[in-house]
Amino acid sequence: MNKKIHLALFLFISLLLAACTAGVPASKAVPEKTPVVDEETIKIGFSMDTLKEERWLKDQALFKEAIEDLGAEVEIVAANGDDALQLTQAETLIQQGIDLLVIVPHNAEATAAIVHTAHRAGIQVIAYDRLVKNADIDLYVSFDNERVGEMQATAILDLVPKGNYVYIGGATTDNNVHLIKKGVFNVLQPAIDRGDIKIVYDQWTEDWSPEKAFLNMTEALAANNNQIDAVIAANDATAGGVIQALEAQGLAGEIPVAGQDAELAAAQRIVGGTQTMTVYKPIQTLTKQAAALAVRMARGETVTTVRSVNNGKIDVPSILLAPIPVTAENMRDTVIADGFHTGTDVYGAANE
Q: Round to whole Å and give the CA distance between 3 and 62.
A: 64
Q: Which residues contact 350 (CB under 8 A, 6 or more apart)?
A: none
Q: Please, what is the minimum distance in Å from the beta carbon of residue 53 to ligand BGC?
A: 4
- When the beta carbons of 197 and 213 are compared against ligand BGC, the nearer one is 213
**Shortest reach from residue 201's CB to ligand BGC, in Å:** 21
Least separation in angstroms between residue 286's CB and ligand BGC is 10
At CA 321, angle to CA 320 and CA 322, rounded to 5? 125
303, 293 contact by CB (below 8 A): yes
Write phi, then psi, for 100 (nearest 5 degrees).
Answer: -160, 145
Contact 241, 210 (CB under 8 A): yes
The set of long-range contacts for 302-305, using a CB threshold of 8 Å and a minimum separation of 24, is: 303/139, 305/139
Task: Put residue 265 in one of left, alpha, beta given phi > 0 → left and psi -120 to 50 → alpha.
Answer: alpha
CA–CA separation, 184 and 236 (whole Å): 15
Catalog residues that contact ligand BGC under the rule CB under 6 A: 53, 55, 129-130, 170, 174, 176, 208, 235, 261
Residue with the shortest CB distance to ligand BGC:
235
Nearer to ligand BGC, 45 or 170 (CB): 170
Would you say 150 or 174 has its CB closer to ligand BGC?
174
CA 201 to chain centroid, in Å, comes to 27
Cβ neighbours of 339 (radius 10 Å): 8
Q: Shortest Cβ distance from residue 282 to ligand BGC (Å)? A: 12
Q: Which residues contact 112 (CB under 8 A, 6 or more apart)?
A: 132, 133, 134, 135
Closest C-alpha to 217, from 238, 245, 239, 198: 245
* CA gap 307, 321 in Å, rounded: 11
How many H-runs (helices) and E-runs (strands) does the chain carry? 11, 13
